[in-house]
Amino acid sequence: EVQLLDSGGRMVQRGGSLRLSCAVSGFTFRSYTMHWVRQAPGKGLEWVSSISATSLSTYYADSVKGRFTISRDNSKNTLYLQMNSLRAEDTAVYYCAKDRTTKVVEGGSLDNWGQGTLVTVSS
Amino acid sequence: EIVMTQSPATLSVSPGERVTLSCRASQSIFTDLAWYQQKPGQAPRLLIYGASTRATGIPARFTGSGSGTDFTLTISSLQPEDFAIFYCQQYHNWPPVTFGQGTKLEIK
């Protein structure tokens, strides 16, 4: 059974930093692109960042570029999101998600999601 | 960036009825379109990818169709557990992937 367990969310002051983790099991982690998606309270889904299977390629939404860093440790089956210079608008539930396919050209849909971890940025 | 627009924002339907949700892309995305269902307090669940392929374990009452810029998700006979928010998402030439704003399906 595929499982993704998000953790690390908490309340943090504006300008602060936080690292989210996503521990996975039940699939060959090192073969899949992974993603972070967030959802502000009462709002829709917003893609945040993605990382290729080998970490060779990373991608960011313009809203977080230069402040967030995605990474992964394939030996530990864990995905990370380092969040710096946090703003009030970063307040959201953050989900890690697995790409549906190992075929990069067909990628981008997300077939398994973590339960989400809440990040609250206080001013 | 490709903008995804869903309609309507809210749909009130009775159990057992057939319902169609719409999603439009600001430019052609061929069939690089997914649909997700999200219930309160839960993570989204992938329903459809490739515009029309049901994900693993998704009941046959969920049908996706469309290509280019116009897409639909049809639920043939609404079950009580189907009421939720539905999002479409494009993944053509990503990043970025982009989501629609969602359609809330509520019980009439």
Q: What pLDDT does residue A106 have?
A: 81
Subunit contact A111:B49, Cβ cutoff 8 A: yes
Picking from B46, B40, B39, B42, the residue whose alpha carbon sits closest to that of residue B91 is B46
Label the pairing between strands B19-25 and B4-7: antiparallel
Please write the tens of the pLDDT for every residue from A63-73.
Answer: 999 999 999 99
Question: What residues of chain A, 45 to 74, have a C-beta less than 8 Å from chain B?
Answer: 45-47, 50, 59-61
Kindly state the greatest CA–CA separation across chain A: 42
Please write the tens of the pLDDT for every residue from A16-28.
Answer: 999 999 999 999 9
CB pairs under 8 A between A and B: 65
Subunit contact B46:A115, Cβ cutoff 8 A: no
Q: Which two tokens stand for residue B70?
A: 């116009």
* Res. A104 pLDDT band, cuts 50 70 90: confident
Give yes or no for residue A121 having a pLDDT over 90. yes
Taken as a whole, chain B contains a residue count of: 108
Q: What pLDDT does residue A44 have?
A: 98
| pLDDT, mean of residues A69-86 | 98
Bridge partners of A59?
A50
Task: Compute the nearest-CA separation of B95 from chain A (Å).
Answer: 7
C-alpha atoms less than 13 angstroms from C-alpha of B99 in its C-beta half-sphere = 24
Task: Collect the ranges in chain B with pLDDT lower than 50.
Answer: none
Round the average pLDDT of chain A to a whole number and report it: 97
| pLDDT, mean of residues A31-37 | 97
Instruction: Report how far residue B89's alpha carbon sits from residue B32's, in angstroms, rounded to the nearest whole number.
Output: 8
Give yes or no for residue A123 having a pLDDT over 90. no
Calculate what percentage of chain B has a pLDDT beyond 90.
95
